[in-house]
Amino acid sequence: MPSQDSPLLWVGLGNPGGEHARQRHNIGFMALDAIARRHRFSPWRKRFKGEVSEGTIAGRRVWALKPATYMNASGDAVQQAASFLKIPPADVTAFHDELDLAPGKVRVKTGGGVAGHNGLRDMRRVFGSPDFGRVRIGIGHPGHKDAVTGHVLGNFAKQDQAWVEKLLDALADAAPMLAEGRPEDFMTRVALLTQEG
């Protein structure tokens, strides 16, 4: 059982570089940026084959990591950070895009399959186990498997901006519940804050 005093490692999955910044596949990076801003984390700096920022949420030390290795090699950065910081897989959470959830829907789970997500697949490879946390952020499915790559690597459309901004705000607002190990409350809070109103 992880200690309540041990640090957490929150990993945003995405691809580095300005050309990828607004793509659906990069919602994990966007989520960590929003959380780090809201909770006044340290400035991002290059480390562990990526960029890291650190802060405290709900009394827990949280390290935020955005791998700079491209999605299919995300595990290299995660393993380096987790190993150096002595953070077990149970205290690592990946924030990632999820095709099988409607846009803006969020689900938290530990373990399970990778559903074709290369970032999750590579994390499972380095840990030798699927038993890390996932914050699954819905980007919707384009309807046909041949359209998936274009959808995932496409930028959010102009009409998506309103719900994306609202969602990122909600994730940052609810982050303390995630840090406290209350995933159900976290999901409820995000859902409440993102309802049309």
The one-digit pLDDT tens for each residue of the chain (197 residues) are 345 668 999 999 999 999 999 999 999 999 999 999 999 999 999 999 999 999 999 999 999 999 999 899 999 999 999 999 999 999 999 999 999 999 999 999 998 888 789 999 999 999 998 899 999 999 999 888 888 999 999 999 999 999 999 999 999 999 999 999 999 999 999 999 998 55
pTM value?
0.94
Distance CA 22, CA 30 (A): 8
Rounded to whole angstroms, the Cα distance separating 3 from 129 reads 20
pLDDT of residue 129: 87
Classify domain 8-194 at the CATH superfamily level: Peptidyl-tRNA hydrolase (3.40.50.1470)
- Please report, for the chain, the start and end positions of each structural domain, with discontinuous segments joined by +: 8-194
Active site (annotated) includes residue 117: no
- Enter the tokens of residue 168: 């990122």
| 3 state DSSP class of 72 | helix
Give CA–CA dist 52/88, Å, rounded: 17
At 105, list the tokens.
Answer: 């829907």
pLDDT for the residue numbered 130? 87
How far apart are the C-alpha atoms of 148 and 173, rounded to whole Å? 30
User: Active-site residue among 25, 96, 117, 151?
Assistant: 25
Cα angle 56, 57, 59 (rounded to 5 degrees) comes to: 75
Region of 104 on the Ramachandran plot (φ > 0 left; ψ -120 to 50 alpha; else beta): left
For 84-87, the CB contacts below 8 A with 24+ separation are: 84/48, 85/7, 85/9, 87/6, 87/7, 87/8, 87/9, 87/63
